[in-house]
Chains A and B, each alone.
Chain A
Amino acid sequence: MQALVQQLIYGVQLGSLYALIALGYTMVYGVLRLINFAHGDVYMVGAYVGFYACTRWLPFRDLAANPSAGPTNIALAVVALILAMTICAILGALIERFAYRPLRNGLNDGDAHFWGFVLALPLAIKFGPLVSFRGLALLLILGIGFGFALRPVMRWLRRRIVLSTSRLNALITAIGVSLLLENGGLLVFGADQKFIGNVVPETNWNIAGIQISSGQFTIFVVSLALMAALRHIVLFTRRGKAMRAISHDIEAAKLMGIDTDRVIAFTFALGAALAGAGGVMVAALTHVKVSPLFGLLPGLKAFVAAVLGGAGNIPGAALGGVVMGVAEAFVAGSRFSTYKDAIAFCILIIVLLVKPAGLLGKNVAEKV
């Protein structure tokens, strides 16, 4: 019994994390009917921001040498969390602006300049490390140069391309962005794995034989707090109202004077911030290795969680995440631990067969 409760607690902890990532998938699906496969890689970027914040950027002090540094380090850890959320939010908005928006509205000069910088990145890294003056200067010069060179190309493309409303285009683009982030991560961060040591004081609590670590507890509590904040934004703010309006009917929302592009970018930023928070917390509190493929499996499982709960449904994503986490913990704790990743997909298949719209999704007929 005790072992059972223990596995349940691990499952809920794991599930809260899946839920946090799944929210990003489900919100984007809600407004655009798009599965943003790059979302798991945003989680990876969050972990890397956490790594650099904890080891380079912020003045964390070694806890083993200064036991009294605990409170300052906790404050710095909050700064690292906010930093990761901010950078990921910007990244999420950038992905929307330069990968998905051109599919809806066509290309313009802004796109030319952005892709100019993307092209300049590998060259700049080849001739100087990115953090050095030489690397940055090269990036700047080449980026601007490529940008102007690409402008006529983009204009030509704009005239040639017939915009399609097919969702498949966006889906394939999402896979492309995911690959770009993973391999870009290899280029920028390197393939070797990185570890974040102990940055905040850690303890284990033993409550009636049940073990709970402070790190896992923090992840759980912060995830809940972020989900509550998200609920508030979606239900009680003007932006949230606009998001809900778009998810009902994007054309009608436009007619009502809603700046849909801005709201969609905001939705991406919001989801990405949550994923970034998840990434930095996992890397800093559970000390797992951070590598460019850090987001691959968690991202996939969160995607499954989102579909499980009903794509586009925010409480559904949270529920789906917890179901996935608990199922995984119970399988991993049994004799069949090898199958713990496969079980996620088996659950998905069964739920979709019984309830095609997901656990909390409404099965509404789409109008043509």
Chain B
Amino acid sequence: MTSARWFSPARLAIHGTLLLACALYLIPLIVMLLTSFKSPEDIRAGNLLSWPELFTGIGWIKAWDAVGGYFWNSVKITVPAVLISTLLGALNGYVLSMWRFRGSQLFFGLLLFGCFLPFQTVLLPASFTLGKLGLASTTTGLVLIHVVYGLAFTTLFFRNYYCSVPEALVRAARLDGAGFFTLFGRILLPMSVPIIMVCLIWQFTQIWNDFLFGVVFASGDAQPITVALNNLVNTSTGVKEYNVDMAAAMIAGLPTLLVYVVAGKYFLRGLTAGAVKG
């Protein structure tokens, strides 16, 4: 391609449209970031996109004071819930794809209902169950709810992934003497890195961003950061500190962003490529 063609009207139109779309997505983020570093006076004086007259970290410090404790609550809820639901989903998917039993298709079909079940419909029964288990208003209870709710998705992911694993591979392993867990642990799990990453990102985003279960099943000091952020932003007393609100929102949103940046590259890796010809 010659350099002259870079300036053709068609090129300009394409790149112009793309830049516009980019701006559309990035402007809210830029507003949030700029606002979080402004002083309250600065916010009241300037417009949304103006450069801060003085960069100040006071908004971030105040925000961390307000939601920092809840940040760790979210970590304590999310990390175990993500890991447990992913591992159980992998096991479920393994059984449902490789060790079919009578009625396993029906079982899988019913499990899929879980993907379409609105959160609101399970609130009361879940609350009742947690109460009976003595887990009401605890982090453990919230982890349990998220694991159960997430299983439908993780099972679906792994089951479909394992269905595409060549049957000959499983047969070869069985002839080599691999049993149920050896086959799973030594052959299939190492092949599952891409789908594990998909699961981790999906579950992390779902659970970290969850508000409804958090607000219903956790109270007081056990609340996740989403609930704490809501409480902070919706306070009706005193002067509205937009810089603090924005910084707190950034703190609440950063981990999901980070997970995607770190794990996202595995999405594109097909680890089974070349394993089986034909």
Decide whether A and B assemble into one complex. no
